[in-house]
């Protein structure tokens, strides 16, 4: 969940029909208290390791791998079950096995990124989400997930662009509307566009904590405008 200052610190990572919405621990919340991680410097060519400022380069499976889609789907299902059980080590192993079976599995890259995000291995998470975007350009979830990484490290412009791209694909999705609204508000965009997003969130979202945040924020913005 993306929650107001009255609630705990969680993020909802968006998933496709293969992957239900999940709520995971995060390092950011609408109160604007987030940990700023060292800047990400990532390359996304093929399956090469990204250059990072945070230790050794990230190694992934070779591009010239197998394309055993049936085996990849089996390992993907095992990884999703492990995530539901909260066993992220087992989930990581399963998703990596899925990619060894089929390196072109977009859902496996996306879910492996979610595991790394949960573990605050943000440079690895970003790389996996970028690769998933290449493989699934018409799916909103990896764009949204990469936006969460950029938001977590304070790159709000990049996060807002990604949330906007995801919302263009699913314009009525309240998770995407909420992420975009929160990031714009953090950036200081207290304009008519942000007000309209907040109103839309009130109409379309069913999460109590999000409804409370949107209504409270709208009220505060209206009071500020009248002063």
CATH hierarchy code of domain 10-226: 1.25.40.10
Beta bridge partners of 135: none
CA proximity to 77, closest of 49, 98, 54, 106: 98
- Residue-level pLDDT at 224: 74
CA–CA separation, 48 and 225 (whole Å) = 50
Domain boundaries, the chain: 10-226
- Residue-level pLDDT at 216: 96
Tens of pLDDT, residue by residue, the chain (227 residues): 232 233 333 344 544 433 433 333 333 344 333 322 333 433 333 344 443 444 445 556 666 667 899 999 999 999 999 999 999 999 999 999 999 999 999 999 999 999 999 999 999 999 999 999 999 999 999 999 999 999 999 999 999 999 999 999 999 999 999 999 999 999 999 999 999 999 999 999 999 999 999 999 999 988 777 76
CA proximity to 173, closest of 12, 8, 23, 4: 12
């Amino acid at each position: 969940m993306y929650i107001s200052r009255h609630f705990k610190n969680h993020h909802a990572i968006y998933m496709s029909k293969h992957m239900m919405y999940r709520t995971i621990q995060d390092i950011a919340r609408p109160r604007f208290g987030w940990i700023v991680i060292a800047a990400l410097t990532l390359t996304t060519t093929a399956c090469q390791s990204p250059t990072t400022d945070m230790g050794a380069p990230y190694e992934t499976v070779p591009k010239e791998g197998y394309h055993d889609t049936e085996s990849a789907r089996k390992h993907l299902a095992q990884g999703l079950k492990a995530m539901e059980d909260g066993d992220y080590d087992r989930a990581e192993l399963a998703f990596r096995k899925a990619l060894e079976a089929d390196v072109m599995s977009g859902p496996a890259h996306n879910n492996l990124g979610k595991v790394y995000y949960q573990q605050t291995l943000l440079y690895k998470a970003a790389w996996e989400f970028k690769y998933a975007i290449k493989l699934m350009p018409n799916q909103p979830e990896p764009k949204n997930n990469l936006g969460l990484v950029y938001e977590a490290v304070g790159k709000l412009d990049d996060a807002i662009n990604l949330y906007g791209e995801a919302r263009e694909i699913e314009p009525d999705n309240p998770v995407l509307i909420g992420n975009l609204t929160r990031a714009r508000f953090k950036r200081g965009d207290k304009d008519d566009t942000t007000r309209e997003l907040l109103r839309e969130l009130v109409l379309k979202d069913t999460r109590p904590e999000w409804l409370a945040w949107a209504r409270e924020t709208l009220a505060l913005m209206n009071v500020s405008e009248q002063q």
